[in-house]
Amino acid sequence: MQVNEVMTPHTVTLTPEQTLKDAAEIMQRIETGFVPVGQDERLVGTITDRDIVINGIAQGKSTDAAVGEVMSRDVLYVFDDQEVAEVARNMGERQVRRMPVVDRDKRLVGIVSLGDLSTDGDPSAAGVALEQISN
């Protein structure tokens, strides 16, 4: 089974120029703590609710600070045609619960989470990944 069969198709991104307030509002509206950051149709980072708090608010930044100031630039991603078991292994090794999904042109096409892998993909592989993340 491939990632494109279990991923959540992607519709929302932020730009590095948007504010932390914009990011928080979007996260609240779509009920997530993770949003990819894109520029010129390319994935340039990700921002999490934790990034906003730890790298933003706790560092004295205002809600008007730019997403680019606090986002994670070390972008981990998977390809939409990768096998679910391989992706689960990769997520466990990297200790992440969600990853952006890109096509072979590196355009963002979705998000895959451990929940996607366990519900619609390979529950045993997702379980191993979660065990690695929890350690």
Could you report the per-residue pLDDT of 91-104, keeping only the tens digit for each? Answer: 888 888 889 999 99
Res 131: pLDDT:
59
Reported confidence tier of residue 126, pLDDT bands at 50, 70, 90: low
How much is the average pLDDT of 64-78? 94
Reported confidence tier of residue 10, pLDDT bands at 50, 70, 90: confident
pTM of the predicted protein model: 0.81
68-73 contact pairs (CB < 8 A, 24+): 68/16, 68/17, 68/37, 70/20, 71/16, 71/37, 71/44, 71/45, 71/46, 71/47, 72/45, 72/46, 72/47, 72/48, 73/44, 73/45
The model's pLDDT over 15-49, given as tens digits with 9 standing for 90+, comes to: 999 999 999 999 999 999 999 999 887 889 999 99
